[in-house]
Structure 1
Amino acid sequence: MDSLLRRKKWLKPLIVATILVPLTIFILQTDFKLVWQEMYKIGFRFIFLLVSTFIAYFLATVAWWICLGSERKKISLKQLFIIRQIGETVGLYNPSSVVGGDLLKDELLRPYDIARGQSSSSIVVSRITIVLSQLLLFMIAASWLVLYSHNATPSYIAQGIWALVISLLVIKTAFFYLLHTTLKINADVIEPSFWRRLYQQIRTLIHQSQQFYQQQPKAFWVSYLFSLLHWLVGSLEFFLILLFLGYDVQMMHGVLLDMGVIIVKSLGAFIPGQLGVEELGNKLVLTAIGIQATSIWLTVSILRRSRQLFWLLMGMIFYGFAKKTRSLTLV
């Protein structure tokens, strides 16, 4: 993560291509006529969707900012918000997914003279708190679905959901156990093979997470709390859309739908722009709560795409104003 972008001169055009090509595909595949029609239907209320996602993104930025420790005094929340949006935009519309986005975040932190170890560690730890809090919310939402609709849910589906919840609980518990232990790494050893170097890098990232958790437990849990709030506020988007469309839904429906779509999208993370994956996820989760009308999941998909287009544009604008190293300047 430290030197790849800086060393390779040919990487600059590659970075531009890997960002612009998926974005172009996403834009070309968007039916702007349908987008405008659906936005016209809900009118000014679309602003509420943008506000809810802005607050969610800001909370995620705070979660990351906390993970910077003493280095956070070198960068403001506004600057970090811009960097995060650029990285998340690249992560969403690039086949490398969050890996490419997080690598770009690390590179964009360079102009702020943040210690290299703290920079990469903060990105890893904040990503971990995001994932762990997401698993918690998904387990709660899935359990709620079974209990809330126990009479309408077939027993085999309920059993499958409980099995999934228990499996995720075991995984989450095992990961927290791992954070309490300490991996021994030898940074001076340079592995000859790619896979050994990758394995060594993963161990290093885990070691950084363990150090942060053990040395700054309060900061870890505060970051975890803000990550949890980030997901809760973000799930308002689904809740508000269905509310605007006249459905009598609860906040927990929004949480369940949001968590479900994210899991479906993670399975298709390699697809640029998540083309088709987003729509499939929307259809599956809406069906799970009993909303099966084709017009509804299409409307939901279009409105969510509209929100993504807005933040895509903002990410591109942010990139133009963000501090960058020479390897990331476009001209």
Structure 2
Amino acid sequence: MSNVLSWNCRGLGSIPAVNALRRVVINEKPQLVFLQETKLHSYEMERVKKRLNFRGMFVVDCVGDGRRRKGGVCLLWREDWDITILSFSTNHIDSIVNAEGGMTWRFTGIYGFPETENKAKTGALLKTLHNRESMPWLCGGDFNLMLWSVEKQGGGDFRFEEAELFREACDHCELYDLNYVGHPFTWTNNQGGDHNLQERLDRFLANSQWQTKFGHSYVTHLEKRRSDHLPILLSIRTKLPQSGKKRNKRLFRFEEMWTREEECGEVIAANWRKGGDAAVNVGRIASDLREWSMAKFGDFAKEMRMLKEQMGK
């Protein structure tokens, strides 16, 4: 399994900010990282790259100096991945990924235009980047746009015209939202009470070719760090080919203790939102619940057997 991390880090000019990013990288072990709003120049990002122990990097410098700095995007990758940059701007990095195992696909990191008057430019950028080639295509980042009204909580009225621009661009590019596990919003204004505003601005999108190739992948909204944006992590999984040797099928058992964890419901909901045949959904849910349980609790069945053996001695 490989991981892709996207995070609007809101500046990496301080040691605590870099340490926060480093903790995420150590915990999640991503092979590819797309950062937005680094507020750094390339020579400054070089120090961050060394601190994070990445081999490859491509940087689009921030604009301005001192406290007036804004923007800046960066793509980082591990030694077992080869990245070819196709195009870039202050709002995107487009690339071809050659991952281990001979997997080749396209990744486009997006930093959406934050200004209200420029929101339409994000949709126009996506349309410009779209082509009719059948290559698997993944997009990720802070789009600064939402698709649906449920992706906003608090604040003023939902801007349906902006959402329609985003949906129209996604339809044109044949990109589909990859649903997630975790907190439903990725950005907050950090205010309390009635003044609190939360929105889902960060996401991964993929075309049908990418989803067919990596159909068991899933997105996790990670816990909040220093930024007002959550880091989001895409775990890329392919269905492994079955060997010629016949193996006994493992019977799936739903564990009662899972119901005490909120994440259990999120795993089920994220899979069900993908749509499709009910039997396929149930099979996918069972597979993902097994993996989530192993990560959350470890192999408790094995531990129980070991304890019983010890008690029998």
TM-score class, shorter-chain normalisation, is under 0.3
Question: Does 1 or 2 have the higher relative contact order (CA < 8 Å, sep 6+)?
Answer: 1
Q: What is the TM-score with the length of structure 2 in the denominator?
A: 0.24
Q: Which protein has the bigger strand share?
A: 2
Q: Which protein has the bigger helix share?
A: 1
